[in-house]
Amino acid sequence: MKIALVGKGGCGKTTIAGLLARQLGRSGRQVIALDCDANPTLGISLGLGVEETDRLAGIRQALDAGDAEHAPSVAEMLERFGATAPDGVRLAIATKIDQPDPG
C-alpha cells in the first residue's frame, strides 16, 4: 500500500508521517518511509536521532549537487540512502530510480 502525506509547508506532515509509519511498523507491517523533502528531517520524527538524520540530509545534498549518483533500484536506494528506525521502519531519502519495481 502506498500512502502520501501532502500539505502546506509546516503543517505537520513530517510529524504525522513519522507517527503513522511507527504505528504501522508496530502493527507488524513492513514499512518503507520516503522523505522527498529537499531538507529531509523525517528521521527525527521516526526516532532515528539527530545525528543519523543529519547524515541522510548530507546524502541528499550530495545528490542534489551531483556529487553522488542516484540509485538504479529501490533495493539499492534503501541500502545506500537509507537507515532503519525503531519498529522496523526503513527510511530512505527519495531519489530517482531507473528500474522501479512494480507496486
Partner 1 sequence: MEAGVGTLARLPEGSLDLVLLVTEPTLKSADVSRRAAGIIAERKIAEVVLVANRVRDRRDLELIRSAIPHARFHVFPEDDAVTAAERDGVAVLDLEPGSPAVAASQRLASLAFGQHGAG
Q: Binding residues for partner 1, per CB under 8 A? A: 1-20, 22-24, 27, 29, 33-37, 42, 44-47, 49-50, 86, 94
- In whole angstroms, the minimum distance from the beta carbon of 25 to partner 1 comes to 10
- In whole angstroms, the minimum distance from the beta carbon of 72 to partner 1 comes to 19
* The three cell numbers locating residue 37: 523533502
Locus of grid cell 521516526: 46
> Across 27-80, where does the E strand assignment appear?
32-35
Nearer to partner 1, 49 or 79 (CB): 49
- In whole angstroms, the minimum distance from the beta carbon of 33 to partner 1 comes to 7
- Alpha carbon separation from 18 to 38, 69, 90 (Å, rounded): 17, 27, 11
